[in-house]
Structure 1
Amino acid sequence: MHATFLLSTQEIIMNTVLITGTSSGYGLETARYFHAQGWQAIATMRTPRDGLLPEGLRILPLDVTDPASIAATIEAAGPIDVLVNNAGIGLVGAFEAAPMDYVRKLFDTNTFGTMAMVQAVIPQMRARRSGVIVNVTSSVTLAPMPLAAAYTASKQAIEGFTGSLAHELAAFGVRAKLVEPGYAPTTRFSQNIDFAIEDMIPEAYADFAAPIFAAFASPALTTRETDVAEAVFLAANDTSDRLRYPAGPDAVALAA
């Protein structure tokens, strides 16, 4: 059964949300979801594409690894009530075979890119004494999985970062939240890898990796993109001190 998060009309405030990484997957669906709820949604991606999002939804270019791009996008966006850090890249395979240049790229996007976006938006939220920062991580932070060591590390860093951040921003009326999506075969987990995935599985790991990749191909519990969009929307509107929001039946099961 897929989890559905509901909020009463009285609890929902129509504000401006900026979402990173909206060219596909969870980010794309989250932008559509907020827009459908009547929010002023700003979708960002490195290379904006026409026809990808509903008419009336703003699209801005953004590279979370580029300080100049971040500054320009924050200025162009205007006041931001909710920041959703969804932009990320993946990596699967034996860590032994992981190119360290790509591991650094992984952290530049998943970890330092998220931190840079947070740092850029805090001043305006602190000045208004309101705002929400939603950082999207992964269910691998709930139960580490094999063949995802570097990816897990990049997301675990954001878990600790957000937990600490929530404490220091609470005094200014700003909330920090974590959404932890499960696995969705439809997301392009390895979309930015510029080498063959087969190269990530040395012969010595072949027997170990085969059943794991088979499980990925046909998961018993699958996270839908709408599961994540609903969880992000809940986190953005929840005024409690709750920190974590597992998204998708597999993530909910792991969290339990």
Structure 2
Amino acid sequence: MFRHKRCSLSLKEIRVVGTALITGCSSGLGRSTALRFASEGWNVIATMRKPDPRLAELYPDRVLVQALDVTDQTSVDRSVEAGVEHFGGLDVVVNNAAVSVVSVFEATPHDVVRTVFETNLFGVMNVLRSALPHLRAGGGGTIVNISSGVGLVAVPLLALYVASKHAIEGLSEALAYELESQGINVKLIEPGAIRTTNFAANTMSTSESVSVPESYRAYFDNAIQAMVNYPFPATEEELVVETILRAATDCSSQLRYPIGPDTEEYTRLRWSTSEDCYRAEMSRLVGHASWRERT
């Protein structure tokens, strides 16, 4: 099994690496990550709310598909226990499962608010609560939390998603100190906008159920147009997967892994400029400046 004393080796040097549990593997980034880990010699506990056994067909000896609803602690415990029993241990946890909604906060129903936080924040906590004893029992490991470029900055109409990812950033940084005492590394993956997954489509499907108050209509339409005219190239999904894999075997103290041209620019603005400069430039990027000029 993979242990920290071996993680200085390159990915090519490590063939039988260990066991990784990955959430949100039904499609998109989670599915791609599960298959990539398996191709690199990992045992993979691929979890999703509705199990798809086809995911394991390419690597039947390495991929175990498990039903896991991150909002249900019993479901999480059952899936983690089954995976650990099947493969004999646990070395890496990738918290990928997440949901989003594009909406005016004031008009967003409470049940939608709860869904975002139950999945994106409390779901991560549920998985960690279940997985940490197994990581400690095995002598250590790595937690890889999938955040976002908007975990560093804030954009309009994504207030709930932004807030949940900011919470993941704070949680992860605090745990990076706390869990170092247990031989466990914590990593934050901060990808920009990925357009090759169905995350955006699922987000818009949820968003259509939330009405837009008339007083917000002009601003909402302007902000949506700014999203359509997003000034940055898409972040490549394969690059994100590669970074997740690299972070899983990185024993350095690096916490954050920004990926993509938008996240790189957000990082520069947030940490390398004044507050006034940051706010002015972000206002331009998200279309807020153009709206103010017209009103």
The reply to whether TM is greater than 0.5 is: yes
Structure 1 outlier segments of 4+, above 4 Å = 192-196
Contact 1:92 1:190 in 2 (8 A): no
Question: How far did 1:14 drift?
Answer: 1.2
1:214 and 1:25, CA in 2 relative to 1: closer, same or farther beyond 3 A? farther
Q: Say if 1:125 and 1:131, in contact at 8 Å, map to a contact too.
A: yes
Structure 2: where are the runs of 5+ without partners?
1-9, 269-295
Note the C-alpha offset of 1:227. Answer: 2.1
1:226-250 per-residue CA deviation (whole Å, 9 max, x = no partner) reads 1221121111011001101112222
Counterpart in the other structure of 1:4: none
- Do 2:139 and 2:183's aligned partners in 1 also have CA atoms closer than 8 Å? yes
2:50 is the counterpart of 1:47: yes
| Closer, same or farther: CA 31–200 of 1 in aligned 2, 3 Å | farther
Aligned pairs for 1:244-255 (under 5 A) are: 244-255=256-267
TM normalised by structure 1 equals 0.89
CA contact (8 A) 1:16 1:82 kept: yes
TM-score when normalising by structure 2: 0.78
Give the RMSD, CA atoms, in angstroms: 2.1
Question: Secondary structure in 2 aligned to 1:9?
Answer: coil
Distance 2:227 2:157 in 1: 11
| CA deviation after TM superposition for structure 1 residue 129, in Å | 2.4
8 Å contact kept, 2:102–2:204: no
2:129 matched residue in structure 1 = 119
1:72-91 correspondence to structure 2 within 5 Å:
72-78=78-84, 79-91=89-101
Spell out, residue by residue over 1:31-82, the C-alpha distance to the aligned partner (whole angstroms, 9 max, x if none). Answer: 1211221211221100012434552222111001111111110111011110
- In structure 2, do the counterparts of structure 1 residues 175 and 12 end up closer, same or farther at CA, with 3 Å as the change threshold? farther
Determine if the alignment matches structure 1 residue 65 to structure 2 residue 71.
Answer: yes
Q: Which runs of 5+ in 1 are unaligned?
A: 1-6
Q: SS of 2:26's equivalent?
A: coil
- Give the number of the structure whose alpha-carbon radius of gyration is greater: 2
Taking the aligned partners of 1:42 and 1:151, their CA distance within structure 2 comes to 26
Q: How far apart are 1:193 and its partner, in Å?
A: 7.6
Matched residue of 1:75: which SS?
A: helix
Q: 1:16 aligns with which of 6, 14, 19?
A: 19
8 A Cα contact 1:89 1:189, kept in partner: no
* Aligned residues of 1:181 and 1:247 also touching (Cα < 8 A): yes
How many pairs are equivalent? 250
One-letter amino acid of the structure 2 residue matched with residue 19 of structure 1: I
